[in-house]
Amino acid sequence: MRKRAQGKTETRSVVKGEEPTQEEGASMASKVFDACVVAQSVIQGAIEPSRLWRSSNSRKLRYEVMGSPAEVTTRIAAAVSSLDNVCPNLISGNPMRFRLSKHKNGKCVSMLIRTPYWLDKATFEVRAVGEDKCDLVAFSRSTGVVPIVIPFSFVLNCLFFFVPFTDGLGKMSKYIIKQVVEESALHATLVR
């Protein structure tokens, strides 16, 4: 087993019958929990059970961006990894987790965002408008009322799709879009 101590990695042998330390057990449980949350996020991001309440938990913004469609989507996709675990939640201040969901070069970029208990999804679609100029339509939305950290939350969110909820009337969705556009360092002008 590997054990981290003061930034160094040590290897210690595990004798048959020896129990892992409490720290190792907690670390293993945390990794399993994180893997389950990621798996649930992918499923819930695909089915988006909260579509009924889009008006209260989503935002769509349009930008005019200087650059080619391929350059714009590449920069947005790169922003996902640089925002991961760094960008603070607008309400709680906890770091949000960003994960690239889909990247079609020159066309669109989709990402899943754990904020940290709920799951949001953002999609950025790019269309060329002229030479080195694009139209960028960003759409961010919440995916369910039940927190993603609860086991089988995607099932519960499907069952409770009719329960109304909001993320501050789209406040969090707008914040996510602005953070991604800023981090991607695009020369973007908000149109609406």
CATH number at 138 reads 3.30.310.80
pLDDT < 50: residue spans in the chain = 1-14
Look at the alpha carbons of 155, 161, 164, 165 in this order and tell me if their dihedral is positive or negative. Answer: positive
pLDDT, tens digit, for every residue of 155-165?
Answer: 998 888 888 87
**What is the enclosing helix (H) or strand (E) of 77?**
helix 69-83
Domain assignment present for residue 50? The answer is yes
Domain residues for 159?
A: 23-190
Q: What is the mean pLDDT of the chain?
A: 84
Domain assignment present for residue 14? The answer is no
Q: How many domains does the chain have?
A: 1
Domain assignment present for residue 12? The answer is no
Q: Identify whether the C-beta of residue 62 lies closer than 8 Å to the C-beta of residue 137.
A: yes
Q: Identify whether the C-beta of residue 173 lies closer than 8 Å to the C-beta of residue 141.
A: yes
Domain assignment present for residue 15? The answer is no
Count, residues in the chain: 192
**SS3 state at 120:** strand
CA–CA separation, 190 vs 36, rounded Å? 37
Domain assignment present for residue 27? The answer is yes
Domain assignment present for residue 13? The answer is no
Q: Quick check: bond before 116 cis, omega within 30? A: yes
Enter the pTM of the model: 0.79
Residue 113, pLDDT score: 93
Domain assignment present for residue 141? The answer is yes
pLDDT, tens digit, for every residue of 35-74?
Answer: 888 888 888 888 887 776 666 678 899 999 999 999 999 9
